[in-house]
Structure 1
Amino acid sequence: MFDDLIEFIRGWYQTRDFIPLHEPRFKEIDKKYVLDAIDSTFVSSVGEYVNRFEKNLASYLGADHVIAIVNGTTALQVTLKLAGVCSGDEVITQPLTFVATANAIAQNNADPVFVDVSLKTLGLCPDALEKFLSQRTIRKGDKTVNKVTGRPVSAIVPMHTFGHPCEIKKITDLAEDWNIPVIEDAAEALGSSIGGKFCGTFGKMGILSFNGNKTITCGGGGAIITNDQEIAIRAKHLTTTAKIDHPWKFIHDEIGYNYRMPNLNAALACAQLEQLDEILKDKRKLSMAYENFFKASQWGQFFNELKGYTSNFWLNTIMTSDKKQRDDLLEKTNEAGIMTRPAWQLMPDLRMYKNCQKGDLKNARWLADRIVNLPSSARINV
């Protein structure tokens, strides 16, 4: 049953070799910028490519400020701190996500609370969020407090799963009613948008990742996005070891982080950003080809973007009929040298998060049993 899919994927990538899930795409411009950074000798966190990348990315996103740092996880960790999340607080997020989302919350000594996802978007479900807030929390002054634990809910972190925009406007509107800041985990969603507005720019802050498997990459790398100048200044200060600017003195006014993106990585990031539109165009062609394939097949449901939403299709996703078909597909494709992957294990099923609060996660569990991600790399010179 899966042989036609295997041949389709091999035909698309025009190879009989191993096909990874998502590999980076490099051209001569990438090498040129990296070599230029090497020749400048500014390869650490001070250099013109860092400034250039922050400026160009902010311009692309239509955001006022971008702070480039070492990866998406640290970006999320810092934004939660900047949002006022304190030790013992609670942060609402989704169970279907990469572990970094929950880890960043825990690294701030806060507890994640898992609310179900939407079958329409794979991201945090606004209806489930509204139900959780109305039934399990109460307003006390300017804070939203959990009725059972008595602890404040200090942030909401929706994630744009596999690059598909969640219903972020409904989430931010709801969060505003409850006076809870929203931090967008847009690690997978560079280039995804709703009504022309990019993911990562709806909440109080947003974050991106430029890991080796992302739509564009600089090896590692991440970014904090905000329109708040005070937050931007503090984010840059905190991620630069909280060092007060001085020609030669080392004065630090609080505990900071050594999280700034190195100039060497930023050089590659600049080159990759210049190719982003071309990469997105190629990935959309692949998503349309997958969609047509599964329309014609007798199995598998291709997961598509909502009307009015634009996905970057970071990872192309299908839903199998059940867990057995999912497992059979994973085994058959991987044995054939084509990398496919299931969804992540749900966060509250992991040992470190099993005792966390959670709502009814029926959608997340249904999806986790059926999701398969297919090879989604942009092609080179095709």
Structure 2
Amino acid sequence: MFESLVRFVREQYRTNEFIPLHAPVFAGHERQYVSDTIESTFVSSVGAYVDRFERDIATYTTSPRAVATVNGTAALHIALQLAGVRTGELVITQPLTFVATCNAIAYCNAEPVFVDVDRHTLGLSPKALAAWLEEHAHLGDDGLCRTKMDGRVVRACVPMHTFGHPADLDGLVAVCSAWKLALVEDAAESLGSLYKGQHTGTFGLLGTLSFNGNKIITTGGGGMILSGEALATRAKHLTTTAKKPHPFEYVHDELGYNYRLPNLNAALGCAQLEQLEEFVANKRELAARYAEHLKGSDLQFVSEPPECRSNYWLNAVVCEDREQRDALLKASNAQGVMTRPIWALMNHLSMYASSLKGELANAEWLEARVVNLPSSVVQRSLA
């Protein structure tokens, strides 16, 4: 039943060997820049490439500032702290996400609240967000969003741009503004994606990126906080063990974190970023070929939302039901073509099973049907 799809994937990558879901491509100055750091001996968190990578990401995304971190989870952890999230407070997010989104909330000793997604974006639904707030929350006399049940502060909202497809940011910005919620975008998967011409991660108070080995560009491991000047200055301080500048003394003025990105990793990121627009164009071409191939089939290709440019980090299809999903996963992986289901919903994981949640009909429907297809950049030498 899925032989045609497997053949199609093999034709794109021109190989009979194992095809991974998403592998990095090193076709630029990676070796040169990494060698530069080794020769300089500045391989840790102080070095010219860290500063350059931050500047280049800020320029690319048009964010006022960018602060590099050791990974995307660390970036989101600090972003939530800067958004004011404190012990015992609530943070609204989507159940259809990678576990790091919720873990970062838990690192703040806060708790997630799960609100449904939209099927056409796979991201947090503004309508579901507004409905949950209207039913369960109110604005207190102190101007804070609080639950009607026990008065707990609902501090922030964290949408995630699933597989690189922008969520409905106009709607989310409007709801968060009305309810005095800090909007913190988890843009880990969406570097290079645009919502109405503006880069994801730049609509809220803060945004975060990831440069894990499977992302559209990689630093091996790494992340980035996008924000305005004041919050970026605070982020830099907190992620550098809260160490005050001094010629030789070790003075730390608050609880800080050893979250800075090493220069070695930043060098790799600078070389990768130089190729990002080519990677995005390449992946969008692959997505278009997938969409054309799947026309008229039982599998529905997941396309970018209207007025958006998706980086198509991971291509995905929606199967008719769980049975077809499982059959596709079994058949493709048995033939050496890696496919993966979408994540288990966060409220189905033991550590988040007791979290507050709204109606999650769309998320549950998608969980049972979505499969990711191989999405690596097709190297030009092979194309």
User: How many angstroms does 1:173 deviate by?
Assistant: 1.3
Helix, strand or coil for the counterpart of 1:182?
strand
Q: How does 1:370-381 map to 2 (within 5 A)?
A: 370-380=369-379, 381=381
Instruction: Give the distance between the partners of 2:305 and 2:232, measured in 1 at CA.
Output: 32
Letter in 2 for 1:124: L
User: How many angstroms does 1:27 deviate by?
Assistant: 1.8
In structure 2, what is the equivalent of residue 319 of structure 1?
318
User: How many angstroms does 1:298 deviate by?
Assistant: 2.5
Instruction: Give the distance between the partners of 1:337 and 1:298, measured in 2 at CA.
Output: 22
User: How many angstroms does 1:149 deviate by?
Assistant: 2.8
Matched, 1:174 2:183: no
TM-score, normalised to structure 2's length?
Answer: 0.98
Instruction: Give the distance between the partners of 2:180 and 2:241, measured in 1 at CA.
Output: 30
In structure 2, what is the equivalent of residue 129 of structure 1?
129
Q: Deviations over 1:248-302 (max 9, x none)?
A: 000000010000000000000000000000101100110000000111x421000
TM-score, normalised to structure 1's length?
Answer: 0.99
Letter in 2 for 1:146: T
Q: Deviations over 1:83-135 (max 9, x none)?
A: 11000000000000000000000110000000000011000000000001111
User: How many angstroms does 1:379 deviate by?
Assistant: 1.6
Greater Cα offset, 332-341 or 20-29 = 20-29
In structure 1, what is the equivalent of residue 101 of structure 2?
101
Instruction: Give the distance between the partners of 2:285 and 2:150, measured in 1 at CA.
Output: 49
CA contact (8 A) 2:28 2:271 kept: no
Letter in 2 for 1:69: T
CA contact (8 A) 2:162 2:189 kept: yes
Letter in 2 for 1:286: L
Helix, strand or coil for the counterpart of 2:188?
coil
Q: Paired residues, what number?
A: 380
Matched, 1:298 2:297: yes
Greater Cα offset, 170-179 or 43-52 = 170-179
Structure 2 stretches of 5 or more lacking a match? Answer: none
Q: How does 1:193-342 map to 2 (within 5 A)?
A: 193-227=194-228, 229-295=229-295, 297-342=296-341
Helix, strand or coil for the counterpart of 1:318?
strand
Percent of aligned positions with the same letter in both sequences?
Answer: 53
Helix, strand or coil for the counterpart of 2:365?
helix
CA contact (8 A) 2:202 2:226 kept: yes
In structure 1, what is the equivalent of residue 39 of structure 2?
39
CA RMSD of aligned residues (A): 0.7
Helix, strand or coil for the counterpart of 2:182?
coil
In structure 1, what is the equivalent of residue 355 of structure 2?
356
Matched, 1:110 2:98: no
Letter in 2 for 1:324: E
Instruction: Give the distance between the partners of 1:276 and 1:186, measured in 2 at CA.
Output: 16
User: How many angstroms does 1:64 deviate by?
Assistant: 0.6
Letter in 2 for 1:51: D
Instruction: Give the distance between the partners of 1:83 and 1:176, measured in 2 at CA.
Output: 14
Instruction: Give the distance between the partners of 1:142 and 1:238, measured in 2 at CA.
Output: 28
Structure 1 stretches of 5 or more lacking a match? Answer: none
Instruction: Give the distance between the partners of 2:260 and 2:221, measured in 1 at CA.
Output: 11
Q: How does 1:136-147 map to 2 (within 5 A)?
A: 136-140=136-140, 141-147=142-148
